[in-house]
Structure 1
Amino acid sequence: MLRIFSWVKSAVRRFTDEKIIPYTFSLSDDPMLFRDLLQTNKMYQDGLKLEGKIPGFRMSIGRSYLVFIALWHIILLPAAAVFHKMLEKIDCHLLIIMSILFTGMFFATYAIFKEYLIDTVALRIIRKAWENHFPHFDYGLHAREVSKIYAEALEKEIPHKNLQLYILDRLVTTNK
């Protein structure tokens, strides 16, 4: 059972990466600047909302709604077909209340879907920029540390031209 769940999870992630993200997002080919990487990484590590704050991508809201509506119907239509006989015998007042609840669920789950896509694309962009600016440091091991060092650099008002040297020096000295 665990293997099936793992397979489904990897298939969903692969479908998201290969089909949904290229359809709903416009990604820039330009590399992210060092300061933008630090700022974006800090926001991501702090769990802040990333929509509209990361350079390098733009989300098409219309396309994201189309994708979400298609996914919603893939789940909803088979359930409606299974429960059709029961649903046709329910009082119309109850059906109106159910339609209100399903509409609320639609928009609530769309917000979750949208945040998931934005976080996925943001992490992809951050990792790509990380490989460019920190090729000798693993993202998974050092992302939080770089975020903390960047916060310290902002507090100490380190000049922009010395920021990269300051962060690399601190990374090297803390990892010895």
Structure 2
Amino acid sequence: MFEKLKENIINYIYNISKQPVKLNVLLQANILFNEGMKLDGTKLGFRLRAARAYLLFLVLIHLIIIPTSYIIHELFAALDCHASIIIAVIFTAFLFGIFNYFKEWTNDEVSKMRIKQMWSLHFPHFPYDEFHVEVSNIFEKAKNEDIKHVDLERYILDHLSA
């Protein structure tokens, strides 16, 4: 259920290209993703729709805020108005931080999804979960040996088959 919800969120807030990603770009993205680096969506063929991301985030956050506000309303009614203002300012700053985390999480998820899609296109006989680290190591080795882009796929497949 969570995976389906995540997929629907990603499809709603991201514009994802139908065009395949070149092998070299896929391999570079795989290395960066394995190292935990932030990926450029334009190279992998996706773009954030900011208005939709804000709208979805507001809907999701209100699903949490409204019930919580009904629960703690009595506490805020008893507080001094100055304390309520300070808490509101802190909460607003907290929301902006959560939105940035939400944006980064969705970016990581769509990057992983896109890498896995393109992986199945370029390496259909080698599952991503089992071979992504090994292919990164082979690609690094190929870069050190100055293997041409034309021979790169054959070089990687030869090393995976061995």
**Shared fold, TM over 0.5:** yes
Relative to the length of structure 1, the TM-score reads 0.86
What is the aligned partner in structure 2 of residue 122 from structure 1?
Answer: 111
Task: Choose the corresponding residue for 1:55, options 40, 44, 57.
Answer: 44
Relative to the length of structure 2, the TM-score reads 0.93
Structure 1 residues 99 and 29: CA distance shift in structure 2, 3 A: same
- Shift of residue 156 of structure 1? 2.1
How many residue pairs align between the two structures?
162
Structure 1 residues 100 and 69: CA distance shift in structure 2, 3 A: same
- Shift of residue 16 of structure 1? 2.1
- Shift of residue 17 of structure 1? 0.9
CA deviation string 1:69-125 (max 9, x = no partner)? 111111011000111111111111211221121112111111111111111111111
Task: Choose the corresponding residue for 2:70, options 70, 76, 81.
Answer: 81
Structure 1 residues 22 and 130: CA distance shift in structure 2, 3 A: same
Please give the root-mean-square deviation of Cα atoms over the aligned residues, in Å: 1.3
Looking at structure 2, the residues matched to 112 and 40 of structure 1 have their Cα atoms a distance apart, in angstroms, of: 21
What is the aligned partner in structure 2 of residue 170 from structure 1?
Answer: 159
Partner letter of residue 161 of structure 2? V
What is the aligned partner in structure 1 of residue 60 from structure 2?
Answer: 71
What is the aligned partner in structure 2 of residue 91 from structure 1?
Answer: 80
Segments of 5+ residues of structure 2 without an aligned counterpart are none
- Shift of residue 146 of structure 1? 0.6
Percent identical: 36
Task: Choose the corresponding residue for 2:7, options 17, 34, 37.
Answer: 17
- Does the 8 Å CA contact 1:127/1:139 hold for their aligned counterparts? yes
Looking at structure 1, the residues matched to 81 and 143 of structure 2 have their Cα atoms a distance apart, in angstroms, of: 60
Dislocated runs of 4+, deviation >6 Å:
none
CA deviation string 1:42-63 (max 9, x = no partner)? 1111110114453211111121
What is the aligned partner in structure 2 of residue 146 from structure 1?
Answer: 135
What is the aligned partner in structure 2 of residue 4 from structure 1?
Answer: none
What secondary structure does 1:158 align onto? coil
Looking at structure 1, the residues matched to 32 and 12 of structure 2 have their Cα atoms a distance apart, in angstroms, of: 25
